[in-house]
Chains A and B, each alone.
Chain A
Amino acid sequence: MEKIINGKAFVLGDNIDTDQMIPAEYLVYSLTDNEESKKYGHYAFSSVPLEKSGLPKGGIPFIEGDNYKSKYNIVIAGNNFGCGSSREHAPFALQKAGVKIVIAEAYARIFYRNSVDGGFLVPIVTARKINKEISTNDNLEINLETNVLKNLTTGKQYKLEPLGNVLPIVEAGGLFEYARKTGMIKQN
């Protein structure tokens, strides 16, 4: 797990469900074929209504043109991020698009588990509604050792909640790595 993450913020509102992250019609693409799976990056957040995409102003697409990588590697969101279906394609799509970390007020359970167990991205919680205080395109620095987020654009700092129980799994890089490390399953 990277301890310091630098990058640009992409800001979203409450209740971003998994259909908005990756619409169901695209779930047919292979997750294992390297070329085909880029489609997941390309369609990440493609069902977020444009006026709610890239807050506070909105109207900012997460992915530009034919790209599959976003210029945003940090997602800032509100309450209940990842509600809806169990599709692991959702955190996978965000990872494919280059997202390293999400900071939200709260997560839906399955999305949170999938992010951690699949090692796709680091889901961090903040007590504050920082999606109301950070703007899309702000430059951020996140320190996961001190659990502090610095907004380099505005100069403001925010405290983040520690990862808690799931920290060992996140640090190992996912459930399987964790299980191997702890001897639950054999080394490959």
Chain B
Amino acid sequence: MGMTITEKILAKSSGKNIVVPGDNVWLDIDILMTHDVCGPPTIAIWKKEFGEHAKIWDKNKLVIFPDHYIFTQNSQANRNVDILRQFAKDYSLNNYYDVGTERYKGVCHIALAEEGYNLPGIVLAGTDSHTCTSGAFGLFSTGIGNTDAAFILGTGKMWEKIPASIKFTFNGTLPSYITAKDLILKILGDITTSGGTYKTLEFDGEVVNSLNMDERMTLTNMAIEVGAMNGIIAADNVTVNYVKNRTDKEYELFFSDDNANYFSTYQYNVENFQPMVAKPHSPDNCDIVKNVQGTKLTKCYIGSCTGGKLTDFEAAAKILFGTKVKVSTFIVPASTEVANQLDNVTYNGKTLKDIFIKSGCIIAQSSCAACLGGPSDTVGRSVDRDVVISTTNRNYPGRMGSRKSEVYLASPLTVAASAVTGVITDPRDFI
């Protein structure tokens, strides 16, 4: 019996020739990523458990991005960043991307890609559930808690149970009004928020191969929304070219065998797909946009590691060009690199930034911002009974701030179309 790409990567990392789902193994971690919310408690556990003179197992493999609570007056949130800064100084860390400096990047998952940490074939653990995003590069990546991260910080190791894989194959030609966000919302509607628990989601097919890295990251980003351990897309030329532009580090490519064993497989033809939305208050409460068309909105939000990449803003700009938004619309670039791209990338002769400003959007600084609510002064945070449509990944009660608010999740095209009309709108009305 052959192995899946995930099984092969985990076999290598655990020093075995063969692994099968259910095996318990100890993995060698290639990259440990943390941020301002979980970094400080991770460091505290590590010091407590390994002593004041604790050693970091491999400084070059530790990457820290402050990104969650950045532009806030909240003193406890700022204290967290101070702790990271001091830690980076005390241990002379190379891979710390401090806020307020040229090095500041923004949302960790996108920054990992941009800074060349996402190498095919590696094992990457991060103290953030959306660490699964990196799997778009043909690597194993998963979210962990502070205790596991502290253990890795001291030993470089983590225990894991080998997951069974579910394969999603997308074929056909992607209609212009369908994005990766619609594909993953379709999956969420089909298998629910627990349908992938302890499993791998493997994506393939001609549609996936046609997607750029931004769009692939949208697919793997939301693997955690079905409860999956990781999401993965085997590397191809698109991946290799992206990585080549970011780093000259070496890596190994892995592919699933033809006779690999899958827990289940799903085949989709995308040609009849319709724009999708997840209704309040769960990412699997999915429907086609048409069925909620006309729902009155108070806020629109385009941002986060799911929907705040260049490709997301290019999609939104196509619709927002030459229009005026009817409700408060927030543009939150995931990273500082994406923010710079808004200044330079053009559509119809105008920069994306120009298009957004002219249409009345509010452009915020790169960070997680209101994707997870955050302190009360967070830009874009939902208040009171806000009805929001957002390109983010979760709409559980209170996720974007107010517990009374209602959040719809959709593609950047759908959010932009809805911003122009002030009610939930199918992007086909504009394309």
Please state if B145 and A108 are interface contacts (CB–CB under 8 Å). no
**Assembled-state Cα–Cα distance A20/B403 (Å):** 9
Q: B33 to nearest A CB, angstroms?
A: 11
**Assembled-state Cα–Cα distance A113/B403 (Å):** 27
**Contact of A110 (CB < 8 Å), options: B129, B157, B401:** B129
Please state if A118 and B372 are interface contacts (CB–CB under 8 Å). no
**Contact of B403 (CB < 8 Å), options: A49, A175, A188:** A49
Q: A129 to nearest B CB, angstroms?
A: 14
Q: Is B88 among interface residues, defined by CB-CB distance under 8 A?
A: no
Q: Is A88 among interface residues, defined by CB-CB distance under 8 A?
A: yes
The A interface is mostly helix, strand or loop, or mixed, namely: loop
Q: B103 to nearest A CB, angstroms?
A: 23
Contacts of A79 in B (CB 8 A): 194
Question: Taking CB as reference atom, which chain B residue is nearest A119?
Answer: B147
Binding stretch for chain B, among A28-36, A56-64, A66-74, A133-141 = A28-36
**Assembled-state Cα–Cα distance A85/B398 (Å):** 13
Please state if B373 and A117 are interface contacts (CB–CB under 8 Å). no
Q: Is B135 among interface residues, defined by CB-CB distance under 8 A?
A: no
Q: Is B254 among interface residues, defined by CB-CB distance under 8 A?
A: no
Please state if B398 and A47 are interface contacts (CB–CB under 8 Å). yes
Please state if A49 and B397 are interface contacts (CB–CB under 8 Å). yes
Please state if B282 and A110 are interface contacts (CB–CB under 8 Å). no
Question: Taking CB as reference atom, which chain A residue is nearest B41?
Answer: A31
**Assembled-state Cα–Cα distance A100/B227 (Å):** 24
Q: Is B204 among interface residues, defined by CB-CB distance under 8 A?
A: no
**Assembled-state Cα–Cα distance A113/B145 (Å):** 8
Q: Is A174 among interface residues, defined by CB-CB distance under 8 A?
A: yes
Binding stretch for chain A, among B72-80, B208-216, B315-323 = B72-80
Q: Is B51 among interface residues, defined by CB-CB distance under 8 A?
A: yes
**Assembled-state Cα–Cα distance A41/B133 (Å):** 31
Please state if A20 and B193 are interface contacts (CB–CB under 8 Å). no
Contacts of A28 in B (CB 8 A): 69, 74, 76-77, 79-80, 375
Q: Say yes or no: A80-B193 contact (C-beta < 8 A), given A86-B144, A118-B147.
A: yes
Please state if A109 and B38 are interface contacts (CB–CB under 8 Å). no
Contacts of B127 in A (CB 8 A): 86
Q: B19 to nearest A CB, angstroms?
A: 15
**Contact of A176 (CB < 8 Å), options: B74, B143, B147, B401:** B147
Contacts of B128 in A (CB 8 A): 85-86
**Contact of A88 (CB < 8 Å), options: B41, B375, B394, B399:** B41
Number of interface residues, chain B, beta carbon within 8 A: 51
Q: Is B37 among interface residues, defined by CB-CB distance under 8 A?
A: yes
Q: A44 to nearest B CB, angstroms?
A: 14
Q: Which residues 75-111 of A sit at the B interface, judged by CB distance below 8 A?
A: 79-80, 83-89, 106-110
Please state if A83 and B193 are interface contacts (CB–CB under 8 Å). yes
Q: Is A23 among interface residues, defined by CB-CB distance under 8 A?
A: yes
Contacts of A24 in B (CB 8 A): 372-374, 399
Q: From B37, B51, B374, B396, name the one whose CB has the most chain A CB atoms within 10 angstroms.
A: B396
Contacts of A174 in B (CB 8 A): 147
**Contact of A117 (CB < 8 Å), options: B77, B148, B396:** B148
**Assembled-state Cα–Cα distance A188/B41 (Å):** 19
Contacts of A49 in B (CB 8 A): 397, 403
Q: Is B359 among interface residues, defined by CB-CB distance under 8 A?
A: no
Proximity string of chain B (116-153) to chain A, C-beta cutoff 8 Å, 1 when within and 0 when not: 00000000001111010000000000011111101100
Contacts of A25 in B (CB 8 A): 373-376, 401
Q: Is B256 among interface residues, defined by CB-CB distance under 8 A?
A: no
Please state if B194 and A185 are interface contacts (CB–CB under 8 Å). no
Please state if B148 and A47 are interface contacts (CB–CB under 8 Å). no
Q: A169 to nearest B CB, angstroms?
A: 8
Please state if A86 and B372 are interface contacts (CB–CB under 8 Å). no
Please state if B394 and A108 are interface contacts (CB–CB under 8 Å). no
Proximity string of chain B (32-49) to chain A, C-beta cutoff 8 Å, 1 when within and 0 when not: 000001100100100001
Please state if B151 and A80 are interface contacts (CB–CB under 8 Å). no
Question: Taking CB as reference atom, which chain B residue is nearest A179?
Answer: B151
